[in-house]
Structure 1
Amino acid sequence: MADESEASGGGAQNPAASWPERPSTDYGFLERALGDASADAFVHVGDRFDDDMRYLTRFSGPDRDFAFVFVGDTAGGDATSTLCAPALFEAQAKREFPGDEVRMENVDDPAGERARALLDEALGGDGTVLVPQGVPHDAALYLERAGYELRSTSAVDDARAVKTESELDCLRRVQRATARGMARAETILAESTADGDELLWEGGPLSTERLRRQVNVTLAAYGVRDAGNTVIGAGPSCADLHFTGTDGIAPGETVLLDISPRGPHGYYGDLTRTFVVDGDGGWERRAYVAVEAAQNAAFDELDAGAGVAASTVHEEAAAEIAAYGFSVGEEPGFTHGTGHGVGVSLHEAPSLRADAPLEAGMVVTVEPGVYDSSQGGVRIEDLVVVTEDGYEVLAAYPTGIVPQER
């Protein structure tokens, strides 16, 4: 586990420290996918908002479609990986793309047409091409009309689910920055004072929006951007799992903070804590105890490491929450899965509801929760990587319902 003092604010992470090198992508998984399917090439088309393209090319722009083409050695030569990018992005593409060749194309040519032309050079208009399910329809039509047989593949999703050491370095760094944002929020809550039915901080009412702005400033100082993912609810709005609105914060009600920023290489952090200022130990205390016990039950399952069925992690967490008298699958109670994968997407494979075994290198959230829209909500979430013989928390952060200065 990461050093708790560093994550919680006791040991300073230098905001000016350089980031790990940009992760590369080993295209061996595409060679294997082509071999298994007796296919000749792989093609994907998308823009910088397409996380599969971000993973395949490590290219962070532009906001219009570009193409990635991988031709296997079955075509008669060595396997080759090519990025077809608009000419205005030549320097950036050559700097960021880890593959064999960058081709600069006319910005007016459709990306699917550029991919088709490159395939024609290698395959002569005949062959089987693998594409992810998310390939744009127009790009698929360009390829099919040129005579290529298209087959869908999950190869990219499968490869993204298991992180390399360089990817884990990025995830650890983002998660440490996420913890600094959480520490800022917890400190503000600890410093706030009750005044009737509202909390005051530095001379004014404390709201979810005011707290969110403080978190986001801290995230920016540590080199990550909030990406619109700083979710903070208070009281009933805690039951809204993605609340980013403005709500006053009152003494005695739950304040749920789910912070999920994105780092410069595209990888996300994800951390959730729940606090109560001047609580009376009622519903929120019982819910917190149940959620904390559920997370510990999930960790106990993850202690087995690689090979444990993902679904058993969820089932044990859900069983623990049910043992405390809360419903599972409906409100009031535990209304979502125990966790999901995190990488260049905030939500990606694996799901802890799936029956498949977890593999070493998979990064997942562990985030049981209990919600009641008439009361509030409690969730505790940490980000872990599965190892051969257990798991590692990517950045430890203390738990506790009463906020402390960090």
Structure 2
Amino acid sequence: MPITSSGLTHGDLTADWQERFNVERMREYRVERARQTMRKHGVAALLEASPNYIRYLTGTIGYPHPMVRYTLFFAEHDPILFEHDGWYHQMPDQAPWIKEWRPAQAWLVAAPGVDASRYQAKIFAAGIKSELEARGLLGEKIGINGFDGFANEALREAGITNLMTSHSLMLEARAVKGPDEIKCMKHVAAIVESMWFKVWESLKPGVTDVEIGAIASYQGLMAGADNPVTGGWRSGPLGFDRGFANTGRIIQSGDLVYGSLCGVTYQGYRTCTYRTFKVAAEPTQKEKDWYKELRDRLDAIIDEIKPGKTTADAAKHFPPASKWGYKDEMEVLASEVGHGIGLAQGGSYDYPIINRAWSFDFPQVFEEGMCLAVESREGEHRVGGVRLENMLVITKDGAEIIDHFPREEILVAPL
């Protein structure tokens, strides 16, 4: 039977009398994780333009447009942050832990045209070459991520040829969370609890799925979320299999409604969680059976998640895609899955992945400190569906559920 994690002992305010979030310790932990992983793989520097990875490596945020800011992060030297526009003038005294600042050389994703982009990319590459030469690293292995073809071409023309894609290296570094990262994950899970409660008390006949998203988002903002998303809401005959959401559909009496509150963030750390509700009626026996099958499945998976065991041990509890008449496991790729969660992963998951497509042939080992979410669904096409996803942290004794909003049964919205 899955264990629920202990409750929060503090909020997000600063205090001198209690140990709360220690952001300096969190930044230092992430830097050391990255450097240990780089040394393991013989990588001298990372040239990183992904906003989430820049934040992990430098503890900074910035303008989110692609490739307008980047970092040159070293295994043995202080990192350099190449910053965008006005941020370059605003940030140095606001982020004093970064000692080296340069103006970023950007070409706005080729908007000025091919010739201008190639011209600016050459300036960019010359600057990177100069920094590597100054540290005696020009011939060393350099990881690169988040850049376009203009950047890669210019770097090679400048003589920076020992390049490797570093996305997998960063996933490895991020896999095990430090104590302050786990605190952030538990805190954002608590924020989402308040969002689920507002959704539960607001679901009634006549409200639209778009309204429910607005209610959820507002509550997230009030509870302290960095990014209070509207979520994805599916109801009635649109509930199985999962597809488009937030259509403006009017919720009706007797509907099953499920939602995803995925992407709510606190200090950049991101949720991924689902719950299912019933509107203006008790669940039918068929719906109760769907949900019990679903919850029992997730409970069995969660019980397998312990340090030293592998994703293969957990994946055996997911049914094959053929259970629903499908021919390929890709047809349930992100529906019957466990996946790592962490610092604003956005369009990509952290390690590990649990599914039938990969876990049996390519198992990943569970480690203490990993955070992940496990999700599944049941239902009938054009009738309705139920869905549940829980957020977990792996302790020395096994996985604990950190999103505490009730999960035992379909939640009946109050009339």
**Same-fold call, TM > 0.5?**
yes
Does structure 2 retain, via aligned residues, the 8 Å contact 1:20–1:169?
yes
1:244 and 2:246 matched: yes
Q: Is the alpha carbon distance of 1:17 and 1:27 closer, same or farther for their aligned partners in structure 2, counting shifts above 3 Å? A: closer
* CA deviation map 1:71-103 (0-9, x unaligned): 344xxxxx3322121352133355347444333
TM-score (norm 1): 0.80
RMSD across aligned C-alpha pairs, in angstroms?
3.2
Q: How does 1:194-213 map to 2 (within 5 A)?
A: 199=205, 205-213=206-214
Counterpart secondary structure, 1:316: coil
Counterpart secondary structure, 2:49: strand
Q: Can you give the 5+ residue segments of structure 2 that lack an aligned partner in the other structure?
A: 15-19, 108-119
Does structure 1 retain, via aligned residues, the 8 Å contact 2:33–2:174?
no
Distance 2:326 2:296 in 1: 15
Give the structure 1 partner of residue 116 of structure 2: none
* CA deviation map 1:44-93 (0-9, x unaligned): 234xxx322222222211234222113344xxxxx332212135213335
Does structure 1 retain, via aligned residues, the 8 Å contact 2:198–2:216?
yes
Distance 2:296 2:327 in 1: 18
Give the structure 1 partner of residue 169 of structure 2: 155
- Equivalent residues, number: 370
Distance 1:334 1:86 in 2: 40
Q: How does 1:315-354 map to 2 (within 5 A)?
A: 315-318=316-319, 336-344=335-343, 345-346=345-346, 347-353=349-355, 354=359
Does structure 2 retain, via aligned residues, the 8 Å contact 1:216–1:225?
no
Query: Which AA in structure 1 matches 2:304?
Result: E
Q: Is the alpha carbon distance of 1:151 and 1:261 closer, same or farther for their aligned partners in structure 2, counting shifts above 3 Å? A: closer
Distance 1:223 1:398 in 2: 21
Q: How does 1:7-406 map to 2 (within 5 A)?
A: 17=13, 20-22=21-23, 23-25=26-28, 26-46=30-50, 50-64=51-65, 65-73=68-76, 79-86=77-84, 88-89=86-87, 90-96=89-95, 98-104=97-103, 111-123=124-136, 126-148=138-160, 149-153=162-166, 154-189=168-203, 192=204, 199=205, 205-226=206-227, 228=229, 230-239=231-240, 240-241=242-243, 243-277=245-279, 278-279=281-282, 281-302=284-305, 305-318=306-319, 336-344=335-343, 345-346=345-346, 347-353=349-355, 354=359, 355-399=363-407, 400-403=409-412
Does structure 2 retain, via aligned residues, the 8 Å contact 1:232–1:243?
yes
Deviation at residue 115 of structure 1 after TM alignment: 2.8
Q: Is the alpha carbon distance of 1:177 and 1:97 closer, same or farther for their aligned partners in structure 2, counting shifts above 3 Å? A: farther
Q: Is the alpha carbon distance of 1:374 and 1:39 closer, same or farther for their aligned partners in structure 2, counting shifts above 3 Å? A: closer
Does structure 2 retain, via aligned residues, the 8 Å contact 1:306–1:359?
yes
Deviation at residue 383 of structure 1 after TM alignment: 0.4
Deviation at residue 384 of structure 1 after TM alignment: 0.4
Distance 1:54 1:102 in 2: 15
Distance 1:368 1:57 in 2: 35
* CA deviation map 1:115-168 (0-9, x unaligned): 3332232237x3123224544333222322221221233221111121111111
Distance 1:212 1:147 in 2: 51
